[in-house]
């Protein structure tokens, strides 16, 4: 009997390879220090100086491409499992084998009855346990959302930074806890001070790539989210395989 999860395993392995490539490329990018520290007057509030990191190059397109490729492979792994299980159950050329992602619990019930009706009903309990809809398992739902987003436009990836051990004295006006990446100006504001006055501050920061404005994962580190996507997809596949063994679909 053919292994119904063989294609899914290949998809997950491919996703992991894309994630490893992304991790390597982001490390090389930031190690090159593609930015300078600049101090500029705020044109809207000339009494303030703005201290910022200004990037001299955009993020490589490969960051978004590798992210999208990893997500698509993980998303496909779930659908491929459904198809493999339907075939293992004796369905000939099954058409309704999609993983039942949905926008909410009502849509999920309809999806179970329609989009995956060729998958043995005994396995539907696994789908229900994982709640792949908004308001159920939001991160699992987000996997599908990211995949859909990229079908319409190149996945937008923003920069995020983390600051710790922040200290300031003198004319320091503000120092954001969660600095915001300005994708238009290609910069991150670190601190705002009184123009012309003495100021001293200390900030430790790390730079990373984060998702742009996408529900649930917006602003979250891309590599962390992708690792979690891998974890949850592997977990779903393992649960499906265990149930398939229990009901005798696979040896």
What are the pLDDT digits (tens) for 218-239? 888 899 999 999 999 999 999 9
Please state the rounded mean pLDDT for residues 241-250. 94
**pLDDT at 153 > cutoff 90:** no
Interval 64-116: pLDDT, tens:
999 999 999 999 999 999 999 999 999 999 999 999 999 999 999 999 999 99
**Count of residues for the chain?**
251
Query: Model confidence over 112-133: pLDDT tens digits?
Result: 999 999 999 999 999 999 999 9
Q: What pLDDT score does 2 carry?
A: 79
Q: Are 27 and 104 in contact (CB under 8 A)?
A: no
Instruction: Compute how many other C-beta atoms are within 10 angstroms of the C-beta atom of residue 237.
Output: 20
What DSSP character marks residue 102? B
Query: pLDDT grade, residue 156 (50/70/90)?
Result: low
User: Cα–Cα distance between 188 and 71 in angstroms, integer?
Assistant: 27
Evaluate whether 156 touches 213 at the Cβ level (below 8 Å).
yes
Task: Report pLDDT for 180.
Answer: 78
- 125's tokens: 């309990």
Q: What is the pLDDT of residue 138?
A: 95
**pLDDT (mean) for 177-203:** 80
Residues 125, 243 contacting (CB under 8 angstroms):
yes
Q: Mean pLDDT for the chain?
A: 88
C-alpha–C-alpha distance, residues 17 and 65, integer Å? 13
pTM, 2 dp: 0.88
Looking at per-residue confidence, does 172 or 119 come out higher? 119
Give the model confidence (pLDDT) of 33-51 as tens digits: 999 989 899 888 888 888 8
pLDDT at 245 over 80: yes
Cα angle 49, 52, 54 (rounded to 5 degrees) comes to: 130
If you search the block for the tokens 């491929």, which residue do you land on? Answer: 80
Instruction: Quote the pLDDT of residue 85.
Output: 96
């Amino acid at each position: 009997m053919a292994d119904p999860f063989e294609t899914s395993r290949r998809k997950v392995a491919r996703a992991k390879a894309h994630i490893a490539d992304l991790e390597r490329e982001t490390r090389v990018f930031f190690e090159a220090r593609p930015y300078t520290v600049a101090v500029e007057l705020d044109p809207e509030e000339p009494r303030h100086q703005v201290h910022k990191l200004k990037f001299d190059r955009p993020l490589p397109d490969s960051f978004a491409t590798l992210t999208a490729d990893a997500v698509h492979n993980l998303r496909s792994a779930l659908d491929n499992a459904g198809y493999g299980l339907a075939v293992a159950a004796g369905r000939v050329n099954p058409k309704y084998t999609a993983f039942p992602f949905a926008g909410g619990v009502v849509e999920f019930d309809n999806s179970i009855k329609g989009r995956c009706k060729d998958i043995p009903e005994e396995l539907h309990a696994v789908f229900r346990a994982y709640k792949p809809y908004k308001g159920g398992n939001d991160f699992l739902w987000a996997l599908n959302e990211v995949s859909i987003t990229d079908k319409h436009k190149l996945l937008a990836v923003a920069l995020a930074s983390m600051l710790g051990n922040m200290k300031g004295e003198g004319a320091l006006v503000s120092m954001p806890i969660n600095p915001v990446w300005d994708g238009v100006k290609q910069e991150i504001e670190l601190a705002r001070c009184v123009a012309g006055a003495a100021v001293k501050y200390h900030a430790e920061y790390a730079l990373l790539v984060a998702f742009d404005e996408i529900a649930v994962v917006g602003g979250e580190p891309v590599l962390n989210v992708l690792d979690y996507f891998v974890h949850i997809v592997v977990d779903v596949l393992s649960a499906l395989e265990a149930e398939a063994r229990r009901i005798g679909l696979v040896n």
